[in-house]
Structure 1
Amino acid sequence: MSSENTSKQTGFPSSQESIDIQSSAENWEYTLHDVDHVQQRHNWDCGVACVMMLLSPQQREEFEANFYNICAEEGFHQSTWTVDLCYLLKRFDIKHTMYSTMLGVNEEYKKYSYYDNIFDLDRERVERRFAEAGSRGIRVRQGAVSSARLLLHLRRHGPAIALVDAGYLACDLCKRNKIKAELKRQFGGGYAGHYVLAVGVRGSRVLFRDPALSARLCAASAQALQRARAAPGTDLDVVLVHQGPGRELAALRAPATGGGGRQGRRGGCVVQ
């Protein structure tokens, strides 16, 4: 377990940074990290698809050509944990930091049917990868990244891979999963782990790409994303990607006017 103090564990922004975030939302700041959308191939590789979105075209071509060999070499085959994604990012020299409230396997999750067939099979690999992460140059930190901290990172530093309970996450633009998410919020339901790639912020909404869908940009309120991230089963896992030189960051600001301001250039959940 990490011995860091709470502020280091969580990476919470200072009070001034929180004020800056609120001010930015009121001014309809629009920040977007451009990535190429990748749709997952199977029902287990959503996290891998998120990693592939962050790669250069040459790296992605290499990965696609050797997809199953790379998965076998990494040892996760058809069961990926967040730490596995970190090793993949390291393999392709993508700078990042992982945050989680549990640096290892959370034994409490054995009761979830989602983990039934993989828990015991994956435990040794996952624990070993956490133990060896530091020596491999992979940064893992114990703690929860707050919603405010995530928004700040998306604006200033780069995208983020987030583990969510898919049942809680809906797109405000295309309305996908809207009714199901509302029903789950009110009545609960089983855990369904899923990774999405957060790529920007528009006002108080987080822009993200969902590898389960065809190429499009989705959006959800920061509160809704936080609910999906904080659901039991996730350990609030998130991988903050530190953008390298040359990757374009588009930041547009519309004036704060009546009626909610102007639409950004990607104001709808449409095929890009």
Structure 2
Amino acid sequence: MEDSDELSPSDDVKMISVPFQPQKYNWDCGLACSCMVLRFLDKNCDTVYSSDLKLLQCGESVWTIHLALLMKLHDVRHCFSTVTLGVDKNYANESYYKNRFNEDERLVNELFENAEEKGICVERRSVELAEILNHVSDGNILICLIDYSVLACVNCFTESCTLLKCFGNCIHCYQGHFIVVCGYDKSKQLIYFMNPNISHAEIGSCTMKEFDVARKRYGTDEDLLFIYKD
């Protein structure tokens, strides 16, 4: 892939080159996405899985607010948008969250309460697809929390999902997963993204409609972490 932000001269098509980082475990998709962001910005990501993770104090339960703090630690201009400031108490009954819910609720809520003090940019709002496309059209990328159980990649049958095993085709319960959004094709109505769940550097894609459903499913809080180059 060429070393340029925009690989197509058309305003209807945008593809941003993002260095790939596969996740190492079944819980670290957010950390892998953060590594991709840091490498995209020519920043060192060697400490993400070591000293950074220790400082986050989140163990194997990584929430979007942790990734926002990670961006702040590396002096990355960012903005975290979400429809829920803190932890939705109803998640205590959701299988994806309930095992660590009490501890997560306390720690995550504390982080939200101290976000401004820590230099984390947080906005409570819902974001429309047009704003995401405009963000990418300016050469920026973002980390998005999706329900992977409903995200069907149009290249699914040619890819080898090494960890989550194509949840979209196998289960119907919520499965939180982070991806890096890095492009779009308006004429084909596609969103392009880097998926840390696959074992090789290949850009994934899904329809804009599927993307909107996956990112707005209950459990995601519509979490988006906007990343800015400057």
Under TM normalisation by the shorter chain, which class is it?
Answer: 0.7 to 0.9
Number of the residue aligned with 1:104: 86
SS at match of 1:152: helix
| One-letter code aligned to 1:196 | I
Residue 235 of structure 1 deviates from its aligned partner by 0.8
Instruction: Identify which of 105, 130, 135 aligns with 2:112.
Output: 130
Cα distance in 2 for partners of 1:88, 1:79 equals 14
- Are 1:238 and 2:224 an aligned pair? yes
Cα distance in 1 for partners of 2:43, 2:66 equals 21
SS at match of 1:194: strand
Number of the residue aligned with 2:47: 63
Instruction: Identify which of 168, 175, 197 aligns with 1:192.
Output: 175
Tell me the TM-score normalised to structure 2 length.
Answer: 0.85
The structure with the largest alpha-carbon Rg is: 1
**Bigger mean CA offset, 75-84 vs 115-124:** 115-124
Cα distance in 2 for partners of 1:152, 1:223 equals 17
Structure 1 unaligned runs (5+)?
Answer: 1-26, 245-272
Aligned partners of 1:159 and 1:199 also within 8 Å: yes
SS at match of 2:193: strand
Instruction: Identify which of 22, 29, 39 aligns with 2:12.
Output: 29
Cα distance in 2 for partners of 1:180, 1:70 equals 29
Aligned partners of 2:16 and 2:139 also within 8 Å: no
Kindly tell me the number of residue pairs found equivalent between the two proteins. Answer: 211
Write 1 or 2 for the structure with the bigger share of helix.
1
| One-letter code aligned to 1:163 | L
Aligned partners of 1:157 and 1:241 also within 8 Å: no
| One-letter code aligned to 1:33 | I
Q: State how 1:80-229 maps to structure 2 within 5 Å.
A: 80-175=62-157, 181=168, 189-203=172-186, 204-214=189-199, 215-229=201-215
Residue 68 of structure 1 deviates from its aligned partner by 3.1
Alpha-carbon deviations, 1:224-265, whole Å to 9, x = none?
Answer: 101001111111111111123xxxxxxxxxxxxxxxxxxxxx
| One-letter code aligned to 1:210 | N
CA RMSD, aligned part only? 2.1
Cα distance in 1 for partners of 2:66, 2:11 equals 36
| One-letter code aligned to 2:182 | V
Same amino acid, percent of matched pairs:
29
